[in-house]
Amino acid sequence: MTPESSSSAEAEKVVKKEHCENHANCMKLIQMALDGEASPEELEHVRQNLGNCLPCNRGYNLEKAIKQALQLRVEQKAVPQSLVDCIKSKIHEL
Amino acid sequence: MTADEFIAVRQYTESEKYAIFDRELMPHIQSMYNFAFRLTQDEDDANDLVQDTYLKAFRFINSFEKGTNAKAWLFRILKNSFINDYRRKSKEPNKVDYQEVETYYDSEEMAGTSQTTDLRAETVQELLGDEVTNALNALPIDFRTVLILCDVEGFTYEEMAKILDIPIGTVRSRLHRARMLLKEKLKTYATHMGYDTSERSEDEESL
């Protein structure tokens, strides 16, 4: 326990990094975290980066927005009932 | 078709075969149809591909262990059928594209942080479903496939590795590349559609 761990309002005003010297690797970890594939250690690393690094923060928000767009907004085509019926009847002919 | 795909692990009775088919395989037909449509980009081809896949699955149902991951098993058969039967007959510019993409990616990587700074999350949130779909469909097939499996269908990296017959490390790097390419496409769409893609200014910081 260090004295800093008692967070005061002042501690909230962390100055975030404008440049990330390790951004390509950070983005890989961020994607794994969003995919639910990061280890607890990797998640913790990402969490810390998000708190103090602007490029990582933006990258995270962007990746999350894209992932959600793919999950929720990609057009879904309804499977034709004729296809379902055709498969079922062919199976029973076998 | 890889050899281990259809090795019989069980000997089901006729009635068991139909029961498994109806209860475990057919419920995935909606996802299968969408996957087929995204791969072929053609309704008739998607129909044929899904039908071929289900007939194959029934014929080799003894190689499916009841109660295991039916969706991943079906997706794997569909993906292999696509590669063997459909991809061949379509004129295939993807090989060339892939090469270009590798080169492009490497140069991007060298450039360091340039990859994420010029598309905003807010811009992506404003894009319509059609625009997102078009951007996805414009990607070379290998990259489109990993994004469909991961983000649209929610498969884990391990499931994707099995479906695609590639190591998990390759799944990870291919996804990363696919996402970089998708960002470029989305940015192009956003610019054409007149969305604001300019970089966020420094004083816009108050979240």
Nearest-Cα distance to chain A for B130, in Å, is 7
- What tokens does B29 get? 């037909």
Mean pLDDT in residue range B110-137: 76
Buried b (16+ CB within 10 A) or exposed e, B53-81: bbebbbebbebbeeeebbbbbbbbbbbbb
- CA-to-CA separations, A28 to A42, B79, B91, B162, B166, in angstroms, rounded: 11, 26, 33, 21, 19
Instruction: Identify the CA nearest to A29 among candidates A17, A16, A18, A40.
Output: A40
H helix and E strand count, chain B: 10, 0
pLDDT digits (tens, 9 = 90+) for A51-80: 889 999 999 999 999 999 999 999 889 999
Q: Enumerate the residues of chain B whose CB falls inside 8 A of the CB of residue A90.
A: 51, 55
Chain A residues touching chain B at CB-CB below 8 Å: 19-20, 23-24, 27-28, 31-32, 35-37, 55, 58-59, 61-67, 69-71, 73-80, 83-84, 86-88, 90-92, 94
Within a domain: A3 = no
* Number of domains present in the structure of chain A: 1
Q: Enumerate the residues of chain A whose CB falls inside 8 A of the CB of residue B132.
A: 69-70, 73-74
Please report the pLDDT score of residue B189 as a whole number. 83
Residues 6+ apart with CB under 8 A from B144: B38, B39, B136, B137, B178
Please state, in angstroms and rounded to a whole number, the distance separating the CA atoms of residues A12 and A8: 7
- CA-to-CA separations, B86 to A8, A21, B32, B72, B207, in angstroms, rounded: 62, 44, 15, 20, 49
- What tokens does B147 get? 């994004």
Give the chain A residue whose CA is nearest to the CA of B148: A70
Give the chain B residue whose CA is nearest to the CA of A62: B121
Give the chain B residue whose CA is nearest to the CA of A26: B113
Within a domain: A73 = yes
CATH C-level class of B94-194: mainly alpha
**Which residues on adjacent β-strands are paired with residue A53?**
A17
Instruction: Identify the CA nearest to A34 among candidates B150, B126, B144, B131.
Output: B150
Contact check, Cβ <8 Å, A55/B33: no
* Planar angle of CA B10, B12, B14, nearest 5 degrees: 155
Residue B96 has pLDDT above 50, yes or no: no
Contact check, Cβ <8 Å, A91/B34: no
Task: Give the pLDDT band of residue B113 (cuts 50, 70, 90).
Answer: very low
pTM of the predicted model as reported, rounded to 2 decimal places: 0.82
**Which residues on adjacent β-strands are paired with residue A17?**
A53
Instruction: Identify the CA nearest to B54 among candidates A92, A62, A30.
Output: A92
Mean pLDDT in residue range B61-65: 95
Q: What is the ipTM of this complex?
A: 0.82
In this complex, which of A36, A55, A78 lies closest to B116 when CB atoms are compared?
A55
- CA-to-CA separations, A80 to A44, B51, B112, in angstroms, rounded: 46, 12, 46
Task: Give the pLDDT band of residue B104 (cuts 50, 70, 90).
Answer: low
Give the chain B residue whose CA is nearest to the CA of A38: B157
Please report the pLDDT score of residue A94 as a whole number. 74
Within a domain: A10 = no
- Which of A32, A76, A92 best tests the B interface by mutation, with the highest count of B CBs <10 A? A76
Q: Quick one: what percent of chain A has pLDDT higher than 90?
A: 63
Angle between helix B29-40 and helix B43-59 axes, rounded to 10 deg: 130
Sorted by where each begins, the domain ranges of chain B are: 3-86, 94-194
Within a domain: A38 = yes
Residue B203 has pLDDT above 50, yes or no: no
In this complex, which of B124, B127, B132 lies closest to A62 when CB atoms are compared?
B124
Within a domain: A65 = yes
Give the structural domain span for A23. 17-93
Within a domain: A7 = no
Instruction: Specify the CATH number of the domain B3-86.
Output: 1.10.1740.10
Give the chain B residue whose CA is nearest to the CA of A92: B18
In this complex, which of B113, B117, B156 lies closest to A37 when CB atoms are compared?
B156
Q: Quick one: what percent of chain B has pLDDT higher than 70?
A: 77
Please state, in angstroms and rounded to a whole number, the distance separating the CA atoms of residues B187 and A75: 19
